[in-house]
Amino acid sequence: MEQKIKEVDRMAANKVDNGFYGQDILSVSQFDRNKLDFIFGVADEMRMLVERFGSADLLQGKILANLFYEPSTRTSSSFMAAMLRLGGQVIPINNVQYSSVTKGESLPDTIRTLESYSDVIVIRHPEVGSAATAAHYASKPVINAGDGVGEHPTQALLDLFTVVEALGGISGLKVAMVGDLKYGRTVHSLTKLLVNYPVEFVFVSPDILRMPKDVIDVVDASGHQYTETEDVHDCIGDVDVLYITRVQKERFTDLAVYEAVKDHYVVDPALMSKAKQRMIVMHPLPRVNEISYAVDNDPRATYFRQMRNGMYVRMAVLAAVLGKA
Ligand code: NCD
C-alpha cells in the first residue's frame, strides 16, 4: 500500500516536475538541455517499449486531434502512430478541403471545436504564428507540427535525438546545413535548438536562400561560431553532420526562381567520397533530388533513421504534455 502511495506521489510530482504537463509545444526556444535530456530519455524508453511490446495503455482514454492544413506524410502519420501505440485515439484531419475550413471557418473556431472533443491538438498550417494563435484559443495543449516557414519543433527534437544516437553526443560537432535555409522551417528550429550545445555551424545555400536574420541573431547572441558559403565543397571534408533540405517549392512566388535553384546541391557518391568516415547525412524528408538513391546504402546515410525516431520522440512529447511521462 505504502509503495503504491509513493508511486502515485511520484507521478503527481512528475506532472509538475517535467515542466511539460498541460503545456503547448510551439518553439524550440522552450527547450533547455535539461528538458532535452528529459525528452530524449523518455523517447529511449518509448523505443524499448515499442520494440518489446509494440504498444502500451499509457494514454488510454486520451484523444489527439491531428489537424493538417499542409501536406504531410511522416509528421502526421508518426503523431498518429505515436498516439495509437500509447493506447490513445486520433481524430485525423488531413484533408481540410473536406472540413468546415472550406466553408470559411476561422482557425480560432476550428480550434474551439476540436478542443471540445480532444485532449491535445497537433497543428500544421501555412502561416507563421498559426500554432501560437491556435494555442491562444485552446485550453488543451497545442503542438506545432510546422507553421509555414517558421518552426517545426518536434522535427528538431527528433533530429537531435538521432544525432545523439548516431554519433554519441552533440558537443564539439561541426554541423553543416545545406539547401533552402530561407524557407526551410526544419533548419530554423534545428539551429535554434543546437545553440544549447557547443557546436560550430556552416550554412551552405545559394545567396537568395540564406539563413534568415532572426535565426542568425540567435546564433550570434549565443556566441557560437558560424560560416556561410555557397559551395558545399568548402566544408564537406570536415563536417560531422551534413543536414540537407529540400528547396521549398511551395514557398516561391516565382517558379522560375525555384527552377533556377532547385538542383543546386545533390549529395551523391562523389560528394560522399570527400566526407569523413565518421559523419552522418541527414534530411527531414521528403527528398526530391537532393540525395541520390545511390547514397541510401552508405552507412553514413541517417535520414531513414530520423524518420523512425520521429515516432519515439512524438510518443515522448505526447506523454509529457498529457502528464504521463
Ligand atoms: C519537412 C517540413 O514539413 O517542414 N518535412 C517533415 O516534416 N519531415 C521538410 C520539407 O517538407 O521539406
Among protein residues, the one with the nearest Cα to ligand 1's atom 8 is: 284
Q: How far is the CA of 257 from the centre of ligand 1 (A)?
A: 20
What gap in Å lies between CA 199 and CA 202, rounded to an integer? Answer: 10
Residues 321, 143 contacting (CB under 8 angstroms): yes
Q: Looking at 74, 287, 305, 308, which residue is catalytic?
A: 74
Instruction: Please list, in sequence order, all residues whose beta carbon lies within 8 angstroms of the beta carbon of residue 53, skipping any fewer than 6 positions away.
Output: none
Measured between alpha carbons, how far is 172 from 268 in angstroms, rounded to an integer? 26
Angstrom distance (rounded) from CA 23 to CA 15: 11
Nearest Cα residue to 35 out of 163, 208, 160? 160
In a mutational test of the pocket of ligand 1, which residue from 72, 152, 248 has the highest number of ligand atoms less than 8 Å from its CB? Answer: 152
Q: What share of the chain is helix, strand, coil (3-state, %, to 5)?
A: 45, 15, 40
List 65's β-bridge partners, or say none: 91, 121
pLDDT in tens, 260-278: 999 999 999 999 999 999 9
Which atom belonging to ligand 1 lies closest to the Cα atom of 124? 3
Which residue has the CA at smallest separation from atom 11 of ligand 1?
286
Q: What's the pTM value of the predicted model, to 2 decimals? A: 0.94
Residue recorded with cell 515499442: 50
6 part of the active site: no
pLDDT value for 96: 85
- Walk across the sheet containing 63-68 and list its strands: 89-93, 63-68, 120-125, 142-147
CA dihedral 120, 126, 128, 129 (to 10 degrees): -30
Active-site hit among 52, 103, 213, 253: 103
Task: Collapse the DSSP code of 287 into the 3-class scheme (helix H, G, I; strand E, B; otherwise coil) and give the result.
Answer: coil
Q: Which residue, judged by its Cα, is nearest atom 7 of ligand 1?
A: 75
Concerning whether 124 is annotated as a catalytic residue, the answer is yes
75 is catalytic: yes
Ligand 1 centroid to 6 CA: how many Å? Answer: 43
Report CA 6 to chain centroid distance, whole Å: 35
Q: Which residues line ligand 1 (CB under 6 A)?
A: 74-75, 146, 152, 155, 185-186, 245-246, 284-285
What is the model's pLDDT at position 10? 47
Closest atom of ligand 1 to CA, residue 284: 8
pLDDT digits (tens, 9 = 90+) for 223-267: 999 999 999 999 999 999 999 999 999 999 999 999 999 999 999
Catalytic residue among 47, 125, 140, 152: 152
* Ligand 1: centre distance to CA 31 (Å): 21
- What's the half-sphere exposure (Cβ side, CA atoms, 13 Å) at 166? 25
Atom in ligand 1 nearest the alpha carbon of residue 246? 12
Distance in angstroms (rounded) separating the CA atoms of residues 176 and 228: 10
Query: Which atom, in ligand 1's list, is nearest to the CA of 75?
Result: 7
Active site residue 192: no
162 vs 228: CA distance, rounded Å: 24
Q: Which residues of the chain have pLDDT under 70?
A: 1-17
Q: How far is the CA of 283 from the centre of ligand 1 (A)?
A: 9
Distance 165 CA to ligand 1 centre (A): 21
Tell which one of 75, 161, 262 to mutate to probe ligand 1, the residue whose CB is within 8 A of the most ligand atoms.
Answer: 75
- List, in sequence order, every beta strand (DSSP E) within the chain: 63-68, 89-93, 120-125, 142-147, 174-178, 200-204, 226-229, 241-244, 280-282
217 Cβ contact partners less than 8 Å away, ≥ 6 residues apart: none
